[in-house]
Amino acid sequence: MDAEVNAIEVKQLSKRVQDAAGMLTILDDITFCLRAGESLAITGASGSGKSTLLGLLAGLDTPTSGQVNLLGQGLFALDEDGRAALRARSIGFVFQSFHLLPNLNALENVMLPLELAGREALAPATALLQRVGLGERLHHFPSTLSGGEQQRVSLARAFAQQPSVLFADEPTGSLDEVTGAKIIDLMFEFQRTQQTTLVLVTHDPQLASRCDRQLVMQGGRLAGS
């Protein structure tokens, strides 16, 4: 994607849900743009709406009102199958809890999205795992890998299809400081070499400071808005 193109455009995005006390506003009138290849950190206290915003940006949830244009496509003009197809083609994910398939080994976990896309899988998946330092652990299952190793498998899987956009939700939240720092270095290396647009949710100010831009959430709104 051309560097002058917006990878993500968010317009007046709001999310409200009904609870026992009445209507609860989780997100209120969020508007911003992110250019292709940029990195963005979404920060804020617990309960400020960060993860809800990330889910809406990825089309994993639907808003009460507002729009998200992702890679030039209006997300909520698509049905659920259409959004899933867009994610499969163009989006990568890294989660705090890794989300590896326990019955697949490291190599099979990384091969899976490539196989689902009908692409050659063995050689690129092997190369990615070697790149993240797991060339000797290809056939190990998640239960036999450390947290840092599992997150490296997750990172390799996320970048296997060279996604246009990567969403990361607290990617170092369950890792110790040293291991987390290594994961972040790898993530930014991949992001830079593949020119991926990166959106991450984090409580870590050091991690946030490495991004091109930061958005701070307060009570469901962007700080200062």
Q: Rounded to an integer, what distance in angstroms lies between the CA atom of residue 192 and that of residue 25?
A: 36
Residue 183: inside a domain, yes or no? yes
Total domains in the fold of the chain: 1
Q: What percent of the chain has pLDDT over 70?
A: 97
pLDDT digits (tens, 9 = 90+) for 144-188: 999 999 999 999 999 998 999 999 999 888 888 888 888 999 999
For 85, the 3-state DSSP assignment is helix
Residue 30: inside a domain, yes or no? yes
Residue 37: inside a domain, yes or no? yes
pLDDT digits (tens, 9 = 90+) for 47-87: 899 999 999 999 999 999 999 999 999 999 999 999 999 99
Residue 209: inside a domain, yes or no? yes
Q: Which of 168, 170, 138, 174 is nearest to 153 (CA)?
A: 138
Residue 19: inside a domain, yes or no? yes
What pTM was estimated for this model as a whole? 0.90
Residue 58, domain CATH: 3.40.50.300
Residue 1: inside a domain, yes or no? no
Instruction: Name the residue range of residue 132's domain.
Output: 6-222
CA atoms within 13 A on the CB side of 104: 15
pLDDT digits (tens, 9 = 90+) for 121-141: 999 999 999 999 999 999 999
Residues in the chain: 225
* Token digits of residue 114: 């490539």
